[in-house]
Amino acid sequence: MPERNTRPLRLWLWLVAALVFATVIVGGATRLTESGLSIVEWKPITGALPPLTDTAWQAEFDKYKTIPQYELLNRGMSVGEFKTIYLWEWSHRNVARLVGIVFLLPFLWFLWRGAIGPGLRGGLATIFALGAVQAGVGWWMVSSGLGQGIAVSHYRLAFHLTLACLIYAVLVWTASRLGAVRGAAVALRLRVGAVVMAALTLVQIYFGALVAGLRAGLAFDTWPLMEGRFVPPAHDLFFASPAWTNFFENTLTVQFTHRMVGYTLALVALGHLIDVVITTRRGDGARLGAVAIVLAIGVQIAIGVLTLLHHVPIPLALLHQGTALVVLTLAVLHAERLTRPATRVAAAEPDLVLSVR
């Protein structure tokens, strides 16, 4: 099948992936500016429009005043200040709405034109279902912060971010696979290593979200040591019972785990690069992919350290989150490349994609 027949599908999926990327970044800014609880209702349709009059703005502000965050964190703020945090959350929700529209409408059009075969149809429907679940998870997360305290549940925050990144990864994988040329014979350990790097990146993003939700980056702001040691004392790492809860609720343990997973990912990527260089030919695309991942991880670690040492300034924190998505993108593209079938995907799987008429 000519590659040009998959081009509209690939461009569409890359556009959706770019919008998901933007949603994650705007969501990060919403969290960092303490704006996520400014809209206390979930209105998937009518909520697309912001307040348009002074009366409407005052009504939204009055609703915000009923939750603990206002009393504990923002008591005395003006309507103008409220508008700023409101528009961050409103923007995040609307970019997410845009993702749904840009995915669903072309999906239905491609189906109507017979451009999507059964093999791909189910996968794309699953992506849309995950997106719908993600919308519900977003409100589930927000609702956790409306009743008490000044922040949402860090568990729900981590789940929300990781699910968004998983959806993004699936979109990137699918878009790349649709345009795949014939795969080369690659050692099994290289394929496994590439997939492990992508999975480890998602794990690292999850623990990064826990660090953000617990504000653990502000609790321990030194590097490479924590409390004067590379490995903090065991009685501090595991003071809570049962012991496993420390990995999710103890700020020291959560940040330490985030560091260790990052170091592990860097070592795995470096070992994989060495293996790729030894195993593959000069000029092979696998080498370029492995080098790019190692460099991106190095940059990401440096940004993470700077974010920590400077007490989590918003620009650096957002850059850290964005670079995590860059690492994930490179890892997914690399894993997809190394696991391609030995024949062109579109030709080998006639039910995967039919021609776009």
| One domain for residues 140 and 283 | no
Q: Quick one: average pLDDT of 113-121? A: 89
| One domain for residues 219 and 100 | no
Q: Quick one: average pLDDT of 243-272? A: 98
| One domain for residues 126 and 217 | no
| One domain for residues 245 and 142 | no
Specify if 5 maps to a domain: yes
pLDDT given at position 283: 62
Mean predicted lDDT score pLDDT of the chain = 92
Specify if 46 maps to a domain: yes
pLDDT given at position 343: 57
Specify if 6 maps to a domain: yes
Range of the domain at 113: 1-182+349-357
| One domain for residues 176 and 196 | no
pLDDT of 214 higher than 60: yes
pLDDT given at position 345: 47
pLDDT band for 349, please (50, 70, 90 cuts): very low
For 295, the token pair is 């460099």
Q: Which residues have a Cβ under 8 Å from the Cβ of 212 and sit 6 or more positions away? A: 31, 154, 157, 317
| One domain for residues 211 and 123 | no
| One domain for residues 302 and 357 | no
| One domain for residues 176 and 87 | yes
| One domain for residues 230 and 262 | yes
**Hey, what long-range contacts does 222-228 have (CB within 8 A, 24 or more apart)?**
222/308, 222/309, 223/305, 223/308, 223/309, 226/252, 226/255, 226/256, 226/259, 227/252
- Whether the bond between 233 and the residue before it is cis, its omega within 30 degrees of 0, is no
Share of the chain above pLDDT 90, in %: 85
Residue type, 95: V
Q: Quick one: average pLDDT of 185-205? A: 95
Specify if 344 maps to a domain: no
pLDDT given at position 186: 82
| One domain for residues 16 and 161 | yes
pLDDT given at position 355: 34
pLDDT given at position 209: 98
Q: How far is CA 350 from the centre of its chain?
A: 32
Specify if 2 maps to a domain: yes
The total number of structural domains that make up the chain: 2
- 3-class DSSP state for residue 296? helix
- The model carries a pTM of 0.93
pLDDT digits 0-9 by tens, 25-52: 999 999 999 999 999 999 998 899 999 9
* Orientation of helix 154-178 relative to helix 7-32, angle to 10°: 160
| One domain for residues 151 and 193 | no
Among candidates 168, 116, 139, which has minimal Cα distance to 37?
A: 139
Specify if 165 maps to a domain: yes
| One domain for residues 305 and 354 | no
Specify if 197 maps to a domain: yes
pLDDT digits 0-9 by tens, 169-181: 999 999 999 976 6
